[in-house]
Chains A and B, each alone.
Chain A
Amino acid sequence: MKLLYFAWVRQRTGIAEEDATPPDSVKTVLDLVEWLRGRGPGYAAAFGDLKALRAAVNQEHAAFDAPIRQEDEVAFFPPVTGGGVAPVDRRPE
């Protein structure tokens, strides 16, 4: 399985991409997150907060219950922030 990490997920894991072979019990994106958390303190920091994390499977946005297979490309990243100006300019409180 090809794994890719972007933005602060990449900074915390310390790598941009890797090939991994999770055990057969890893059947969903969430299973993969839980497996990755156990791989070291950097991974634990990167995958600690699900609310701050988004995933893509084979370059499509995916939910945490999406199924995954060994041949998939799975990416983890923070919510995306493309584009230019915000549609509503919110001042700090």
Chain B
Amino acid sequence: MIKVQEQDFNLAAEIAALTRGRTDIGGVVSFIGLVRDVSDGAKVAAMTLEHYPGMTEKQLSAIERDAGARWPLSASLIIHRYGRLLPGEQIMAVVTASAHRQAAFEAAEFLVDWLKTKAPFWKLESDGGAESWVAARDSDDEAAGRWEKG
């Protein structure tokens, strides 16, 4: 399931909804990304996330389908927020559920790595005065690249 939203989320409630009535799930892995107050040594007072409505949902769904094809997942969820966010706020989350923990752990890491390189989001950081667009990191491409079938 994909959720692209401006409002905050309650991960416990999301997991409860995802697993309700299910008795085939042996483990649930979750990851939450938070806004930090420092980016490459510079202070961050606020961040505004811009995205490409339509393409965002399409790309996140494709990444989720990829994960489901690689690992035996019982359920999965990707939440990504957009709009203005302050340090400490939740920015995104990934949840994977499977009969066995290894699939859930690996699929969660795969989803987080890939959504950083595929999902059309851009971060505008503000230090309270000046604003600047966050540049993509080579390390993100490297993290996603290790999942390429070689």
Q: Does A56 contact B (CB under 8 A)?
A: yes
Q: How large is the interface on B (under 10, 10 to 19, 20 to 34, 35 or more residues)?
A: 35 or more
Q: Does A4 contact B (CB under 8 A)?
A: yes
Q: Does B105 contact A (CB under 8 A)?
A: no
A19 to B92, CA, bound (A): 33
- Summed over the interface, the residue pairs from A and B with CB atoms below 8 Å come to a total of 98
Q: Does A84 contact B (CB under 8 A)?
A: yes
Q: List 27 A-B contacts (CB under 8 A).
A: A6-B120, A7-B50, A8-B133, A56-B52, A60-B55, A60-B58, A61-B59, A77-B120, A80-B120, A80-B136, A81-B116, A81-B121, A81-B137, A82-B115, A82-B118, A82-B121, A83-B115, A84-B32, A84-B33, A84-B91, A85-B36, A86-B137, A87-B116, A87-B143, A88-B143, A90-B40, A92-B41
A→B interface (CB under 8 Å): 4, 6-8, 56, 59-61, 75, 77-88, 90-92
B→A interface (CB under 8 Å): 31-36, 40-41, 50-52, 54-55, 58-59, 80, 91-92, 112-113, 115-124, 133-137, 139-140, 142-143
